[in-house]
Amino acid sequence: GGGESTDEGADGATEITVGVIPIVDVAPIYLGVEKGFFKEEGLDVSLELAQGGAAIIPAVASGQYQFGFSNTTSLLLAQTQDVPVKVVTAGVNATEDPAADMAGVLVKAGSDITSPKDLEGKKVAVNTLKNINTTTTNELVRQDGGDPTKIEYVELAFPEIGPAIEKGDVDAGQVVEPFLTIGTQAGMTDLGSNFVAADPGLAVAEYFTSTSYAESDADTVEAFTAAMNESLDYAQQHPDEVKEILPTYTDIDEKVLAELNMPQWTSEIDAESIQKLADLSETDGLFAKDPDVDALLP
Amino acid sequence: MAGTRPKRVAGRGRDAVLGVLGLLVVVGLAEALPRLGIVNDSYLPPASAMFAELVDQLGEAAFWTDLGATLRGWATGLAIAMAAGIVLGVVIGSVGFLRDLTASTIEFLRPIPSVALIPLVVLLYGSRPTSALILVVYASFWQILVQVLYGVADVDPVVRDTARSYRFSRLTTVRTVVWPTALPYVMTGFRLAASVALILEITAELIVGVPGLGKSIGVAQSSGAVEKTYALVIVVGIIGVTVNLVARALERRTLRWHVSIRKEAR
Amino acid sequence: MRFARTIAYALALPIVLVAVWWFASAGSTSVFWPPLSKIVSVFGETWTADRWTGDVLPSLARLAAGYAVAMATGVLLGVVIGLYRPVRAFCEPTLEFFRAVPPPVLVPVIALFLGYTGDASKIVTIALGCLWPILLNTVEGVRGLDEVMLDTARCYRFSAWTRLRQVVLRGASPQIAAGARQALSIGVILMVISELFGANRGLGASIVQFQRSFAVPQMWTGIILLGVLGFLLSVLFRLVEHYSLAWYRGLRQADRGA
Amino acid sequence: MATALDVRGLKKTYTTGGTSLEAIEQLDFSIGQGELVCIVGPSGAGKTTLLRCISGLLDATDGVVELDGAAVTEPPAGMAVVFQEYGRSLFPWLTVRQNVELPLKEKKVPRARRTELVDEALAAVGLADSASSHPWQLSGGMQQRVAIARAIAYEPSVLLMDEPFAAVDAQTRADLEDLVRELWKRLGVTVLFVTHDIDEAVYLGQRVLVLSNRPTVILEDVAIDLPDERDQLTTRSAPRFAELRAHVYELIQKAKKGERPA
Amino acid sequence: MATALDVRGLKKTYTTGGTSLEAIEQLDFSIGQGELVCIVGPSGAGKTTLLRCISGLLDATDGVVELDGAAVTEPPAGMAVVFQEYGRSLFPWLTVRQNVELPLKEKKVPRARRTELVDEALAAVGLADSASSHPWQLSGGMQQRVAIARAIAYEPSVLLMDEPFAAVDAQTRADLEDLVRELWKRLGVTVLFVTHDIDEAVYLGQRVLVLSNRPTVILEDVAIDLPDERDQLTTRSAPRFAELRAHVYELIQKAKKGERPA
Ligand SMILES: Nc1ncnc2c1ncn2[C@@H]1O[C@H](COP(=O)(O)OP(=O)(O)OP(=O)(O)O)[C@@H](O)[C@H]1O
Ligand SMILES: Nc1ncnc2c1ncn2[C@@H]1O[C@H](COP(=O)(O)OP(=O)(O)OP(=O)(O)O)[C@@H](O)[C@H]1O
Ligand SMILES: [Mg+2]
Ligand SMILES: [Mg+2]
């Protein structure tokens, strides 16, 4: 695909398109746009919503979008398959508190599954098979002394996981916000954060671009990185403003919003955490060949 | 007794009443199931809640922009698919050699799901409306094509011979013989394609993020906003019902001569 | 002789297209558009015996079940709706409503009633997709039945059952066949879609898995496999159609002068 | 003679879209049990319409049709109809034999008797050889004979025939005429026979109803006072036959000119 | 008289599925420019098949059909056909007028002339009033007359008619017979006329071809030596007419019995 050239906006600002997902995690970029951090760097950002990283990575790789947001495992997967992508800045990180994280594993109220190791031999719903959620859930079980290879994973979209648990079709489900809060408000039990289990403050997702764009438009990439870092730090320091920006691009109910667990945002790319996730993923046999974390990171 | 039997009451008025009745039954069910606790109302809210949300939506400018985008994408894709499907269907259907030549390829391409094409389309066009358009055209084209092929094969041999004996040109034969015969099949094809096109438009918006109602459904879904999701789905359904009404009206005009319509006129 | 010609015709265009693809993609370096030679070379290692028994066959079984359900309900419902105008008036708006609802939104509702993980909701999803072309074509086929033929059946006081079996179904069968053929490929499509949801194995689930892990050549083999499957199913379908609609071909003199 | 069929005040107006067309103005007549009545009239007079009203296939606009004292609202039991559109009344997916046999199956005639009836009927119309063909493999006249075979194999008590011999050659026609008379005598069936052939009407019928031009009324009810034993040669050469023939022909000419009864 | 139509060694065998049926064994005859030839033969003899081969609609199994010296491989220009299945040969989606007019449009007849021709033809068959009806709103006989009107409005140089008057009443039939003879004389058109009515064949034709039973050959080519000026009353009562009529009838009877030429 094309995308080598960058459009100049009317006021001389560089027009860029960023592919994001309508979830809490990308609040900083919305906030940054609103605060004018990107304009200061001479960037005119338009945000495109997609359902998941699977649609965003090809679009960025082929130059349809200049930047995108994707979870770490998908980026590692892409890297092992020679998809030309490169991380530019951190995206979102887990918290360090397993009980107050943006992710968790839900079971029905009164379920006889009371701790992660009980998931052994059970049916667990995840949003995507063989990806970050299964790897981290495996680690959660492993740390609790269970054998994760005995878990039967089933793929269900986040909105369906709650109903499926309730109906008894699955024994547990791994969800992220806002479905974690929706679930606990409906009386379900959270077994703890799988992200935090993998690594406290786990680097869950990053912003990335294509390798060719990184070379041809290094200035723009630099500008984007700067603005993005500013946005991330700002979001971390102003949780109230995050809560205000959320309803502008999501339809999260107010009642849920009030109790939402916020993730962590930092402008530092945690290479160690990424390496740890890569190692865990390899244990699960996700990759056809070893990922090169250094090549993926800037 | 033949003569004194009551005359059938005005047909179409009664049809409309019955149709609305049918919809009311569904609405009633959708209200009752969650209210009676047969399903959990946080997953399937009662119909009244969906409609309340729908009314809220009607007041939002964004809703109308989305609706416009969806309708535009849908209509464009459908029009392209109709034109291509009809032209190719008639040509392939009337030329035996082409029919034999293309049959296997058509059968190979037809079952390739448009959803499997999503990543390819995204590569080429990202989340621009073109992505949705390609998916819509690809999916609905086959519906028309197959219907037209069957319709063309349905020409009465005596009618065909009549046209041949008067040395009708190919074009005249197509216009006056093949087309009218295939028309009932085309109408069915149109109705099938119209909904498939709508489905693909919404799905593309939902998954790829092309602007439109589907994208709003996607956002609502990933926020767990069940009522809004269903309110938007109702809008999609209403579009479907409207399209069918239009198709039926069109049919009554263009197929007045056909058994299916004239039987009912009696 | 004729058989040979049919085969030649069937193969000509695909061979040309494959050749074009082969040479056009030969030098491709793009990850997403791998050379056809690469795709072919990974085919064997991708579709192992385990994948056939664990993914492909269960998917096909669900497809068969869903298609059968759609065929039965579509024809039955179609006949009733086609024959009785009040029934049609009553059902049509509702059916049209549900027909327009995209599977990604409808599937969760089905799952709410039929379960999220088992085969039932997948089969129903497939059936629901296949239903429409069969239903619509049956309705129109029944409405378009020849009046004189129906009058004949009434005159000889055929029972409802005979009228249905011998007159209505047979008379509408060419158009039902059109619907059934449409439904076949839609069934294949929905087989994939249904596995995006609450599945961990299956042909569709595998393709999506390849796609998400950027195993692009493997993903292409999956798409090709779907095409081949669809083609084989349609050959099977045409065989059945050839025998059951022999009278129709004769009537329409498809092979006249031969 | 008991009345089999009673038609009183029958009217039929077709309405399609906005326009309406008065096909039958007023018809009153009755037919006795076991009578053979022919109906002639100009093309487009409403003979087919009348037959369809009598058989309960078409709702009349006004008036009553009674068969054996009961009003006809749907096709009555024991009635067979040979349609003018013979080609369209055969089921193309069935063979000739199956077409003839199907109504018998419906009537629950035992298999052996069924085979016998079908064989007889097909032989009577000269189609024994074509039993396993499909209707679309037959010539026009052969298709028409299948429809006739189906009606006679059914052994109806009332037989309505709408120009049943229009598509067959002269010799076959003569044979079929004799077949109808023979059946009529043997089974005592009531026959209503529409034809355009005046010779045929006079040769076959006990009465000939001559219809007027549209909107239709009865122009004359001609009694055919020929001896009951008829055969193609002697009957047709009888002077009385010629007289009746000439009279009916004259009536048809008048009807076409638009003459109506006083 | 120049030869218009030359049929040499014509054979036709139908093959459907595995079975084959020899319809025409061997036919050789020729028809002069502007001749009016009638064809009679038993039902199922192959008359329709013959007409379809001549008109180039059906490929013969063997033999040649030549029109004006050129082999017929597709329907030749200036030919009109009235099909036996009149009902199915009309386009139900067009009105009566449009049905008649369409071939003229195709022939690029200017609009004014077209209207004139259509009006004339419809009036000639007595359907001026039904011009705006659709075929399915007409009676059988009326439909058949539309097909006839379409053929005569076309002003063909060769006219093939397959039992064109089978569904009309006696008086209309007589009128149409005179219409055909009148047209034939006025336009010098070559006419091939299939009929089951022996009187009609003798009354109309200059020659009557009598076909044998299937597989078909020509049983006899009967020359009709009646004066060229014919009318319904005098011609039909002429003694020579009766002789010819009897002769043809005899031939048909022989044909039905399976007799073949030596
Ligand atoms: N479905 C219809 N709609 C409107 N008019 C009709 C319909 N069927 C018949 N008619 C009209 O009713 C009249 C009588 O038709 P009918 O078929 O009964 O005539 P018929 O006596 O059987 O003529 P024929 O001897 O030519 O068969 C005709 O003028 C015809 O145009
Ligand atoms: N499509 C066909 N397939 C097989 N056989 C056929 C087909 N059409 C006609 N025949 C056979 O060919 C023979 C001649 O048929 P054709 O229609 O030419 O007879 P015809 O002389 O016109 O008879 P009629 O006077 O009854 O119309 C018949 O025995 C018929 O069964
Ligand atoms: Mg009639
Ligand atoms: Mg014939």
Which are the contacts of A110, defined by CB distance < 8 A and separation ≥ 6? none
Residue of C nearest to B202 (CA): C102
Of A64-78, B90-104, B251-265, E129-143, the poorest mean pLDDT is in B251-265
Are D and A neighbours with ≥3 CB pairs closer than 8 A?
Answer: no
Record: contact C158-D85, CB cut-off 8 A: no
D131 and D189 within one domain: no
Provide the 3-class DSSP secondary structure of residue A91.
strand
End-to-end CA distance of chain A: 22
Record: contact A163-C215, CB cut-off 8 A: no
Record: contact D138-E44, CB cut-off 8 A: yes
Of E16, E45, E145, the CB nearest to D137: E16
Distance from CA of D87 to the nearest CA of C (A): 9
CA-CA distance, C234 to C229, in Å (whole number)?
Answer: 8
Chain A positions in Cβ-Cβ contact with residue B225 (cut-off 8 Å): 251-253
D181 and D53 within one domain: yes
CA of C148 to the centre of ligand 2 (A): 22
D167 and D147 within one domain: no
Distance from CA of E17 to the nearest CA of C (A): 9
E131 and E32 within one domain: no
Asked if residue E19 has its Cβ within 6 Å of ligand 2, the reply is: no
Query: Distance from CA of residue D105 to its chain's centroid?
Result: 23
Q: Give the single-character DSSP code of A26.
A: G
Q: What is the pLDDT of residue C196?
A: 73
pLDDT at B230 over 60: yes
pLDDT by position in tens, chain D (length 262): 688 899 999 999 998 777 888 999 999 999 999 999 999 999 988 999 999 999 998 989 999 999 988 999 889 988 999 999 888 899 999 999 999 999 999 889 999 999 999 999 999 999 999 999 999 889 999 999 999 999 999 999 999 999 999 889 888 999 999 999 999 999 899 999 999 999 999 999 999 999 998 889 999 999 999 988 888 888 888 999 999 999 999 999 999 888 888 7
Name which of A298, A191, E256, E145 is nearest D126 in CA terms: E256
Provide mean pLDDT across the span A254-275.
88
Provide the 3-class DSSP secondary structure of residue A152.
strand
Chain B positions in Cβ-Cβ contact with residue E89 (cut-off 8 Å): 158-159, 161-162
CA of E175 to the centre of ligand 3 (A): 19
Q: What is the total count of domains within chain E?
A: 2
Report phi then psi at A153, rounded to 5. -90, 145
**C73, C124 Cβ separation under 8 angstroms:** no
D198 and D210 within one domain: yes
CA-CA distance, B163 to C213, in Å (whole number)?
Answer: 59
Query: Using 50, 70 and 90 to split pLDDT, how confident is the model at B1?
Result: very low
Last residue of a domain, one of E155, E179, E212: E155
Of C31, C199, C213, the CB nearest to A130: C213
CA-CA distance, C50 to C229, in Å (whole number)?
Answer: 18
E124 and E144 within one domain: yes
Of D16, D56, D64, the CB nearest to B3: D64
Q: What is the pLDDT of residue B265?
A: 55
Name which of E58, E55, E61, E63 is nearest E22 in CA terms: E61
Residue of B nearest to D62 (CA): B3
Query: Distance from CA of residue A139 to its chain's centroid?
Result: 17
pLDDT by position in tens, chain C (length 258): 567 877 887 788 888 888 998 888 888 877 778 888 888 888 888 888 888 888 889 999 999 999 999 999 999 999 999 988 889 889 888 988 888 887 777 887 888 788 777 788 889 989 988 999 999 999 989 998 988 888 888 888 888 888 888 899 999 998 899 899 889 888 888 888 788 776 778 888 888 888 888 888 888 898 888 888 888 888 888 888 888 888 888 777 744 433
D217 and D89 within one domain: no
Burial class (CB in 10 A: 0-12, 13-18, 19+), E52: buried
Query: Using 50, 70 and 90 to split pLDDT, how confident is the model at B240?
Result: confident
Record: contact A128-C112, CB cut-off 8 A: no
Angle subtended at Cα E261 by Cα E256 and Cα E262, rounded to the nearest 5 degrees: 135
Provide the 3-class DSSP secondary structure of residue D77.
coil
Of D77, D93, D134, the CB nearest to C157: D77
Chain E positions in Cβ-Cβ contact with residue B183 (cut-off 8 Å): 93
Average pLDDT value for chain D: 91
D97 and D209 within one domain: no
CA of D198 to the centre of ligand 3 (A): 15
The answer, for B253 touching chain E at a CB cutoff of 8 Å, is no
Convert the pLDDT of each residue in B153-174 to its tens digit. 888 888 888 888 888 888 888 9
E126 and E69 within one domain: no
Widest distance between CA atoms in chain D: 56
CATH of the domain at D216: 3.40.50.300
Convert the pLDDT of each residue in A178-196 to its tens digit. 899 999 888 898 888 888 8
Query: Using 50, 70 and 90 to split pLDDT, how confident is the model at A145?
Result: confident
Query: Using 50, 70 and 90 to split pLDDT, how confident is the model at B9?
Result: very low
Q: Which ligand is nearest to the CA of E139?
A: 1
D237 and D165 within one domain: yes
Optimal mutation site among B42, B135, B217, B223, interface A, most CBs of chain A within 10 A:
B223
C30-35 long-range contacts (CB < 8 A, ≥24 apart) are C31/A61, C31/A81, C31/A82, C31/A83, C31/A84, C31/C214, C31/C216, C32/A58, C32/A61, C32/A62, C32/B119, C32/B120, C32/B123, C32/C216, C34/C216, C34/C217, C34/C220
Provide mean pLDDT across the span A106-122.
88
Convert the pLDDT of each residue in D117-131 to its tens digit. 999 999 999 999 999
Does residue E215 have a cis peptide bond before it, meaning omega lies within 30 degrees of 0? yes
Q: Give the single-character DSSP code of A260.
A: P
Provide mean pLDDT across the span E170-196.
92
Record: contact E81-B262, CB cut-off 8 A: no
Last residue of a domain, one of E155, E190, E207: E155
Which are the contacts of D49, defined by CB distance < 8 A and separation ≥ 6? D12, D23, D24, D58, E139
Handedness of CA D109, D111, D116, D119 (dihedral sign): positive
E164 and E261 within one domain: yes
- Residue whose structure tokens are 């039954």: B25
Q: What is the pLDDT of residue C1?
A: 56
Query: Two tokens at B221?
Result: 């879904």
Residue numbers of the domain that contains E211: 1-78+158-262
Convert the pLDDT of each residue in B49-58 to its tens digit. 899 999 998 9
Of B110, B200, B258, the CB nearest to C144: B258
Chain D positions in Cβ-Cβ contact with residue E166 (cut-off 8 Å): 166-167
Task: Outline where B36-128 has alpha helix (H).
Answer: 47-58, 61-94, 96-109, 114-125
pLDDT at A8 over 70: no
Provide mean pLDDT across the span A98-112.
88
Q: What is the pLDDT of residue D66?
A: 92
Return the number of other C-beta atoms located less than 10 Å from residue E233's C-beta.
Answer: 8
Name which of B157, B141, B251, B155 is nearest B196 in CA terms: B141
Encode chain E in three state secondary structure.
CCEEEEEEEEEEEEEECCEEEEEEEEEEEEEECCCEEEEECCCCCCHHHHHHHHCCCCCCCEEEEEECCEECCCCCCCEEEECCCHHHHCCCCCCHHHHHHHHHHHCCCCHHHHHHHHHHHHHHCCCHHHCCCCHHHCCHHHHHHHHHHHHHHCCCCEEEEECCCCCCCHHHHHHHHHHHHHHHHHHCCEEEEECCCHHHHHHHCCEEEEECCCCECEEEEEECCCCCCCCHHHHHHCHHHHHHHHHHHHHHHHHHHCCCCC
Are C and E neighbours with ≥3 CB pairs closer than 8 A?
Answer: yes
Angle subtended at Cα A135 by Cα A132 and Cα A138, rounded to the nearest 5 degrees: 145
CA-CA distance, D162 to E220, in Å (whole number)?
Answer: 33
Query: Using 50, 70 and 90 to split pLDDT, how confident is the model at B243?
Result: confident
Q: Could you tell me which chains touch chain A, where touching means 3 or more CB pairs under 8 A?
A: B, C
Name which of C151, E116, C106, B232 is nearest D55 in CA terms: C151
Task: Ligand 2 pocket test: pick from D139, D145, D172 the residue with the most ligand atoms within 8 Å of its Cβ.
Answer: D139
Of A200-204, B81-85, C214-218, the poorest mean pLDDT is in C214-218
What domains, with CATH codes, occur in chain C? Answer: 36-257 (1.10.3720.10)
Angle subtended at Cα A114 by Cα A111 and Cα A116, rounded to the nearest 5 degrees: 120
Last residue of a domain, one of D132, D155, D178: D155
Distance from CA of D50 to the nearest CA of B (A): 13
CA distances from A121 to A203, B67, C201 (A): 29, 46, 17
Q: What is the pLDDT of residue E49?
A: 92
* Pocket (CB within 6 angstroms of ligand 1): D 14, 16, 21, 23, 41, 43-49, 84, 214; E 137-142, 167
E247 and E184 within one domain: yes
Name which of D169, D191, D181 is nearest D232 in CA terms: D181
CA-CA distance, E169 to E171, in Å (whole number)?
Answer: 6
Record: contact A22-B223, CB cut-off 8 A: yes
Distance from CA of C7 to the nearest CA of D (A): 29
Average pLDDT value for chain A: 86
Widest distance between CA atoms in chain C: 72
Ion ligand 3 nearby residues (CB, 5 A): D 48, 84; E 139-140
D19: which strand partners?
D16
Convert the pLDDT of each residue in D45-74 to its tens digit. 899 999 999 999 898 999 999 998 899 988
CA-CA distance, B40 to A186, in Å (whole number)?
Answer: 11
pLDDT at E119 over 50: yes
Query: Two tokens at B122?
Result: 């995204």
Optimal mutation site among D10, D59, D137, interface B, most CBs of chain B within 10 A:
D59
Q: What is the pLDDT of residue A53?
A: 66
B43 versus A243: the higher-pLDDT residue is A243
